[in-house]
Amino acid sequence: PAPRPVASQILIVDMQLLRTASAAARAIQSQAQSKRALIQKELEERQAALRAEETALVSLRDSLSSPEFRARADRFERQARALKAERQARVAALRQSVGEATGAFEQTLTPILVQIMSERRASVMLDKRTVVLSSTALGTAYGCGRQRT
């Protein structure tokens, strides 16, 4: 005779909710937002200074010799390119930092989800987004291991 199927607990977890609404995820988002705002403020101040320098340079154009004007214009262009490169580097560094923090969060989350599976005697845990249809009769759970009612 064929073996009988074993009933198993299937847990459905809203991973997106865990990644956005948990205290750790909110802390990551808050820190990233604060850092992003600080970067933006610093770069806007430097950009404003560059705009002022550009205005001054344009106003001096007629009073400077051509080589002197060209030298100042070249210096200005180098500063503008440097600011653009710095912006790109700082944004990339922030993205990397957020990615690393998110990865650490996910690594911390995994043993917690394993513990929940063990406590519920579940053999499968699915992300809510991958589930097409579910029923409370299947013993599903939503959120962070909360039993669906």
pLDDT at 144 > cutoff 60 = no
Q: How confident is the model at residue 147 (pLDDT cuts 50, 70, 90)?
A: very low
pLDDT tens, 8-63?
788 899 999 988 888 999 999 999 999 999 999 999 999 999 999 999 999 999 99
pLDDT at 102 > cutoff 80 = yes
Compute the Cα dihedral for 94, 96, 100, 105 and give only its sign. positive
Considering only residues 133 and 138, tell me which one the structure prediction assigns the higher pLDDT.
133
pLDDT given at position 148: 42
pTM (2 decimals)? 0.69
pLDDT tens, 107-118?
999 999 999 999
Position 50, amino acid: L
- Give the separation between CA 144 and CA 147, rounded to whole angstroms: 9
Asked if 80 and 50 count as a contact pair (C-beta separation under 8 A), the reply is: yes
